[in-house]
Structure 1
Amino acid sequence: MINGIGKLVYEQRVEKLKNAYEQRLIQTNRQIVMLHVVYVVANPSICGATKIIFDQANKLIEKGIAVTIVSYGERPTWYQLKAHYIEVPSKLRISLLIPKCHIIIATYYTHIQECIETEIAPVIYFEQGDIHLFNYEKLKVDHKGFVYTQFQLPKFIMTVSQLTARLIKQYFKRDAKIIPNAIDPNTFNNKWTEENYKCEEKYLLIMGREDVVFKGIEEVVAVFNGLKELNKELKLYWITPYPPSKSFECIISKVIINPSQNQISQLFKGATFYISASYYESFSLPVLEAMASGCPVISADNEGVKEYGIDRYNLLLYEKGNLQDMAKNMLELMKNDRLRDNLVKNGFLTVEKYNWKDSIEKLYEYLCQIAQYEVLTCHMLKNNNPKRGFNNMLEIFDYANELYKNEVYEEAIYFLNEFINYGSSNTDKKIEAYRLRYWAYYFLDNLKEARQQCFLTFELGIPQMKECCFLGQSFLDEARIEEASFWFEKAID
């Protein structure tokens, strides 16, 4: 298993590298009434990187941009997402459900190539930092080559910090636009309300996935277990997207799975302090959110947190991996109230520099510039056709069905036509395709064409009750009572 990529999927992607090509764009002067941006997101579960994507999406919508999130997994409940959300079934490639748009933002390097191959719109790669960047020189040769190639494909790259921009330049010889992270002061602040987390316990707070080793969760648990002998009343709370293994049950006091943003803010406010033990970070958003909530912070001295974190000014830093150093900072912070107060005060001052007003304005201007580009169709792909590499016509039907269910009606109609015109011998599937097609036109408010498509089903046999009811409803929508009555009567004959 290669980090973040299943072995089979990874091998398939490496095999496709021979067809990889840099996206070719042409600059235009096109006028766009409403800009439509699509974020391609691999995993919608709670984490700092996903939260930044969703924050950007919501803020862009507030500025009048249409935003769609295309992702595996159900629409997240931990975040109040305003964007249109398309859930991709696990059996499909994520790029297959990308709708027509002006800009595609690939949010993980494994999706860059397939986003470009759609040839729908200019692709921006949004790099927030992960093991493939922080530990690039230690990757296996083939994986290293795969990552390097992906970074060469898009014309545009954006990132969140000076650190990640520097690494992108160092390893891949590419420039990246920096769009700084920011926090939402309406959620993360030091205002106490009746909804704030009510807890008489003294607890330390950690956040992150157990299976991501570089997050250092096991190290914090080990140090806490030792300190617990000195203070039996001290508790450890853990925010995580997935239930942890049973080995931690006797040590962790409380596990909070996929909490809402308001719940996280409340947990910060009630914590004695927050600990980030991550070896690698591009920016470390939770640390900044803790500061905004008035929660003292202890952090490993990764380069990302040092983008804004200053030891003994707004947080305590310890040498990453040095458990003795971590424990020393914990003990000091628990005993030194004056130090705690100073860290909190200076944390508030730090947070003021990272606001969404400035950050989203930079992103908005950047997107408006890129929206002036259009894709030049590339003929380097062997199977460059509208079927996007499907193996058979039933796969096209399944794909069209998913587009329909996700309300991407125009593209659904296109692929339903592909299936119907092919002349499938599967009559039941063909009837189903006809029905999806006329309903798609109906939902596009094209009643005349919807009825026309419905009448075509009669070629497959005598009118069925579903078609008669549909025709009746379509005429009723136009207040054409006589025609509506005729078809409703036909339905019950």
Structure 2
Amino acid sequence: MNITFILPGYPSEPSGGFRVVYEYANHLVERGHEVSVVHPAYTYSSGHPIYRSTSPRIDWQYIHEKVRMIYAPSLDEKYIPDADAVIATAWFTADYVHHYSHRKGKKFYFIQSFVTWYGFDKVKRTWLLPLNKIVISKWLYQLGLKFGVPVTDITYIPNAIDHNKFRLINPISKRPKTIAMLYSRIRIKGSCDGIKALQLAKMAIPDLHAVLFGVPKRSTEIPGWMDYIQTPSQEDLVDKIYNGSSIYLCSSWNEGWGLPASEAMACGCAVVSTKNGGSEEFCIHNQTALLSPPKNPDELAKNLILLLKNDPLRMKIAENGLQYIRKFNYNKSTDLMESHLLSIVKQK
């Protein structure tokens, strides 16, 4: 097959959504398919395009040499290669793909989240376009059905983890009282709740240590006793942060999937998370994680304290999570993606 992914812009910084697309592109070219990834020369901020004059340097993600990386002035059809399948990957790319001619291929919409800061109705409308929807989690699948997407137009293909990258290095039994957490300025990531939960846990367990990481510079809302690592390398993220922590804290209000939590789980962290939709794909309460409602730092803190005071329980949760997350791998997910694309492409 000849496949084109349409990304929403240049990746100005590491992005989980972009990473997933690049991973699929890598695995599909390894199977003999021709894959192009189109990047329009802008990113979106507050719903408005910010144009970029130079193509980015993507040093945070491996890109197979056979993947054709296209940096286009816009998403106008004249810049899009002819293909068997063309895949929108964000709400505003869906409109472009919808209007492309048949020469660009059968039309798909790869949905990794449902975010409404661009407008609920504006985003929802794209779900109802006549595109073949692919969603990464069961809650997004159910949301699509609720919106009125026909069951024949939506397919669930779970996200995956590269277990060669995200792996256990430091034994689960020998972890320090360190909690890792992604810090983000995006409100729905709930970083303010996570920080408050960590402060509450620190009051109960004074020797608790916390390490936060993220893309932005260190914020003044991060207390001085917490470490902060800006844009850690892949090696540091796996070796020092995930494998150097006993617990990973996810305080998001809403997640399409929750890549950092699943990566940390694959590295041996016991996960404490909110019930945010996406994380519940791999976080099963009292089995592979401890869960609590979003926007409730007190409950997050209780679960952190419970694991820090009960090491056998922490190790059990971590071991169960480590085994469970292995079912989500790129061999299986690429099998599903390849099979689904082929089934639609072969239709007349």
Report the TM-score when normalising by structure 2.
0.83
Query: 1:206 matched to which residue of 2?
Result: 181
Structure 2 vs 1, CA of residues 93 and 364 (structure 1 numbering), >3 Å: closer, same or farther?
closer
Q: Give the distance between the partners of 2:71 and 2:180, measured in 1 at CA.
A: 32
The structure that is strand-richer by fraction is 2
Q: Give the distance between the partners of 2:79 and 2:213, measured in 1 at CA.
A: 32
The structure that is helix-richer by fraction is 1
Equivalences, count: 322
**Bigger Rg over Cα:** 1
Query: 2:164 matched to which residue of 1?
Result: 186
Structure 2 vs 1, CA of residues 312 and 42 (structure 1 numbering), >3 Å: closer, same or farther?
same
Describe how 1:280-295 pairs up with structure 2 within 5 A.
280-295=254-269
Deviates more, 1:226-235 or 1:180-189: 226-235
Query: 1:311 matched to which residue of 2?
Result: 285
CA distances 1:215-236 after superposition (whole Å, capped 9, x unpaired): 1111111222344345555333
Q: Give the distance between the partners of 1:95 and 1:244, measured in 2 at CA.
A: 41
* Structure 2 unpaired stretches of 5+: 42-54
CA distances 1:398-425 after superposition (whole Å, capped 9, x unpaired): xxxxxxxxxxxxxxxxxxxxxxxxxxxx
Query: 2:68 matched to which residue of 1?
Result: 84
> Which amino acid is 1:180 matched to?
P
Secondary structure of the equivalent of 2:333?
helix
Structure 2 vs 1, CA of residues 116 and 245 (structure 1 numbering), >3 Å: closer, same or farther?
same
Q: Give the distance between the partners of 1:173 and 1:373, measured in 2 at CA.
A: 20
Describe how 1:141-160 pairs up with structure 2 within 5 A.
143-160=119-136
Contact 2:178 2:211 (8 Å CA) reproduced: yes
Query: 2:299 matched to which residue of 1?
Result: 325
Cα deviation, residue 192, structure 1:
5.1
Query: 1:67 matched to which residue of 2?
Result: 35
Cα deviation, residue 105, structure 1:
0.8
Describe how 1:295-444 pairs up with structure 2 within 5 A.
295-372=269-346
Structure 2 vs 1, CA of residues 327 and 299 (structure 1 numbering), >3 Å: closer, same or farther?
same
Cα deviation, residue 128, structure 1:
1.2
Structure 1 residue ranges (4+ consecutive) displaced by more than 6 angstroms after TM superposition: none
Cα deviation, residue 330, structure 1:
1.2
Describe how 1:102-181 pairs up with structure 2 within 5 A.
102-119=84-101, 120-132=104-116, 143-175=119-151, 176-181=154-159
Secondary structure of the equivalent of 1:362?
helix
CA distances 1:56-103 after superposition (whole Å, capped 9, x unpaired): 1111111111222222461421111222222345xx447663223221
Cα RMSD (Å)? 2.6
* Structure 1 unpaired stretches of 5+: 1-34, 133-138, 194-199, 375-493
Query: 2:209 matched to which residue of 1?
Result: 235
Cα deviation, residue 208, structure 1:
4.7
CA distances 1:303-362 after superposition (whole Å, capped 9, x unpaired): 322223221211111222111111111112112110111012111221232222222111
Q: Give the distance between the partners of 2:180 and 2:170, measured in 1 at CA.
A: 18
> Which amino acid is 1:358 matched to?
K
Contact 1:182 1:359 (8 Å CA) reproduced: yes
Structure 2 vs 1, CA of residues 148 and 224 (structure 1 numbering), >3 Å: closer, same or farther?
closer
